[in-house]
Copies of this chain bind each other. A is one copy, B any other.
């Protein structure tokens, strides 16, 4: 049987950890932390029994739609902590009734017409990597159809002169890169979900990727978008820039499937980098490391990477002593050497108290070294992209392990960090009897950082979700009340609604509801995401 996505783990079925592997992980972690973890068994897809489909597929849609148990289970959740626990346990109270795989745009129109006429909820689905309940079917609908864009996965057109490409929305990260590569081009959009997230999903959720400074979000790479709504097609001119009215593209960006199904887009691509420079600079504290990152961002050197790891993260990720923070700087370019920019960044970092040996500054080289082995940038990216596989092995051990991210202006930093970290640590102490919170800064702007937090605590078997919810509530409340956005790049979905509702202007929600009413009069598209139906 061909390999396919795991219903419970990140990745393909062939990479699901075995029960033996989970048992080993339990033993090792128990020994290391003085716990007595036991590995539970994940629910196998073959043993699932779902609610019977509540709809019948019209004959004309027969070849597009599946009511297969595997398909419906796989599309019932994304990859949040809540999702992973429920999948591991085999809890599927509200799966989609059918999963549709359009082959072309006309299929999307047909599917939306069907859902509109019947009042079925229609859930656009890219790679299913949402960590905010963005693809989870809502309650209260007589039928649910998930529209999986996987068959629309082609790079249709490449414009080498403008460095742009027209790409179908269902193309996954690796599919995009492999189709661009023969022309020496790359999108270089590498969110952690890269392997299993799509261009359409990135646009719908304002994904942020590889670049830590300057153009960080997919927003900045979008030249024009095409979207099918229940009211018809929406397409913008391909333009490098415009000042003609409010940007129509910026309404598609972040629309999270409530306004239409994004079918394709022109995106700005890059020539593959040939010139690189990289360095890791050590600091006595997160504050001094972030001061350096701020100075580099405000000097507008625009490094591709400029990430800060706090003491805990630098210990876990880079094997440091736990008493120092780390600033990772990297420059890359297809066209011009990056040595001078790196020298300037290093000088700024040293001024802020950073320490780096000359021998640790890499001032040339590409994706591969002279022997053809992967260079540091490739190694870092691979380990970043492999991280969700590590999380697979923590499932079923009872650990509560999640991340959240935000952005805030520099004037509130590092107070913001103290408040958020304190609130989450308090919640961990109260709920789990202890735990850890660590922070890295994933993106850096001249006016503020985008901090990314990871927390871990020990759950009581069977109570993980309630315990997690209490910690998540504390985190969201702290972020929101300290003035941060509830999400810099994970999106809002259903799970971030309580804080998003306090963040966006009430009148903007009214405007968005009016817009949705215009494009989706029956209110079928991803109901409950961003705004109430």
Q: Quick one: given A246-B253, A515-B514, are A505 and B299 in contact (CB under 8 Å)?
A: no
**Which positions 246-305 of chain A face chain B at CB distance < 8 Å?**
246-248, 250-256, 268, 271, 295, 298-302
How many of these chains are in the complex?
A: 2
Say yes or no for A171: interface residue by CB 8 A criterion.
Answer: no
Stretch at the interface among A119-127, A230-238, A418-426: A230-238
Determine if B449 and A299 form an interchain contact, defined as CB atoms under 8 angstroms apart: no
Chain B residues within an 8 Å CB radius of A449: 240
The interface bits of chain A over 419-448 (1 if a CB of B lies within 8 angstroms of the residue's CB, else 0) are 000000000000000000000000101111
Binds B, one of A55-63, A74-82, A141-149, A479-487: A479-487
Q: Which of A162, A271, A299 gathers the greatest number of chain B CB atoms within 10 Å?
A: A162
Contact of A408 among B219, B240, B511 (CB under 8 A): B240
With the chains together, A409 CA to B236 CA distance in Å? 13
| Residue in B443, B483, B518 whose beta carbon sits within 8 Å of that of A237 in the complex | B483
Chain B residues in 8 Å Cβ range of A488: 241-243
**When the two chains form their complex, are residues B487 and A243 in contact, meaning their CB atoms are under 8 A apart?**
yes
Contact A164 B243 (CB under 8 A): no
Residues of B within 8 A of A337 (CB): 344
Please report the C-alpha to C-alpha distance between residue A235 and residue B504 in the assembled complex, in whole angstroms: 8
- How many Å lie between the Cα of A408 and that of B410 in the bound state? 36
Q: Does A306 contact B (CB under 8 A)?
A: no
Q: Which of A23-31, A94-102, A204-212 contacts B (4 or more CB under 8 A)?
A: A204-212
- Which residues of chain A have a CB within 8 Å of any CB of chain B? 159, 161-164, 205-208, 214, 216-217, 219, 223, 229, 231-248, 250-256, 268, 271, 295, 298-302, 333-337, 340-341, 344, 348, 407-411, 443, 445-450, 483-492, 496, 500, 503-508, 510-515, 517-519, 530
- Taking A162-B409, A295-B335 as known contacts, 8 extra A-B pairs with beta carbons closer than 8 A to each other, sorted by chain A number, are A161-B411, A208-B241, A231-B507, A231-B510, A241-B443, A244-B496, A245-B255, A300-B302
Q: Which 4 A-B residue pairings sit nearest by Cβ, starting from the closest?
A: A240-B448, A299-B335, A240-B445, A206-B243
